[in-house]
Structure 1
Amino acid sequence: MTERVALDANALMMPVEVGVRVFEELDRVCGDYDPVVPDVVADELASLADGNGEEATAAAVGTDLAARCSDQETDGQYADDEIVALADAGAVDVVCTNDGPLRERVLAAGTPVVHLRGRNRLTRTHP
């Protein structure tokens, strides 16, 4: 079964920020999956990429990685709320993030989370 995995901005910026090869790790942890990026996440990355420094570089890489993913339209403006709403509605099967508060909210909604474990490996946590 192909799982729909929503990625947040933090996950898409991990290659630069912590040296994680996100898609290789998702292959290992999830197997067959369809990566999904909510439109508000893509907007957030584009906004961050306009800046300077490491965060802007990470966001630019994240924007490139998001282009490999399916787009998910949302109604809201705050990425974390939209990701939780997608998880709660069953529109995605898994969420990939390294944001602690978002991880807790998604787990509370009953959806598994893929997150950083150690220096450069992802792991899956179930509610």
Structure 2
Amino acid sequence: MTTVVLDTNALMMPVECGVRVFEELDRVVVGAEPVTPAAVVDELERLSESNGAEGTAASVGLDLAGRCRVVETTASYADDAVVELAETGADGGQRHVVTNDRPLATRLRERGVRVIGLRGENTLAVTEP
């Protein structure tokens, strides 16, 4: 199994981009085990309290986070927690992160992490570091 870390905006993609994240993840990474840092869950909880589209997307993301193994990290900021998990490999195997956040994707690729991001309207693709 390959551990794949999902960040906040990855879990909000179904509402914001119309992406069926877990179906796409199964398509691009065979045997993916989705994980997310506790800091991402905390961020989704905060965002879900707001009104409007962002609050709705965060609420859906929070529900989807229930399909992931939630992992504690030393970082409290969500992006730093994602990087920490990606750098440790979460399981010692291949490192993948699902994100549509360009600055975070750049940080990850600089560290040798495969980034899975939005390609086209509603599909995901892997970018090698």
User: In the alignment, residue 119 of structure 1 is paired with which amino acid?
Assistant: E
Deviation at 1:31, TM superposition (A): 1.3
User: In the alignment, residue 18 of structure 2 is paired with which amino acid?
Assistant: G
Query: Secondary structure at 1:59's aligned position in 2?
Result: helix
Query: Secondary structure at 2:85's aligned position in 1?
Result: helix
1:69 match: 68
1:38 match: 37
2:85 match: 86
User: In the alignment, residue 111 of structure 1 is paired with which amino acid?
Assistant: V
For the Cα contact (< 8 Å) 2:75–2:84, is it kept in 1? no
Gaps of 5+ in 2: none
Deviation at 1:86, TM superposition (A): 1.6
Gaps of 5+ in 1: none
1:120 match: 122
- TM-score, structure 1 length as denominator? 0.96
1:49 match: 48
Matched residue count:
126
1:107 match: 109
1:26 match: 25
CA distance in 1 between counterparts of 2:57 and 2:126 reads 23
For the Cα contact (< 8 Å) 2:73–2:84, is it kept in 1? no
Task: Give aligned-pair identity as a percent.
Answer: 56
CA distance in 2 between counterparts of 1:58 and 1:89 reads 29
Shift >4 Å, 4+ stretches: none
Query: Secondary structure at 1:116's aligned position in 2?
Result: strand
Deviation at 1:84, TM superposition (A): 1.1
Query: Secondary structure at 2:23's aligned position in 1?
Result: helix
CA distance in 1 between counterparts of 2:102 and 2:117 reads 9
CA distance in 2 between counterparts of 1:49 and 1:63 reads 8
User: In the alignment, residue 9 of structure 1 is paired with which amino acid?
Assistant: T
- TM-score, structure 2 length as denominator? 0.95
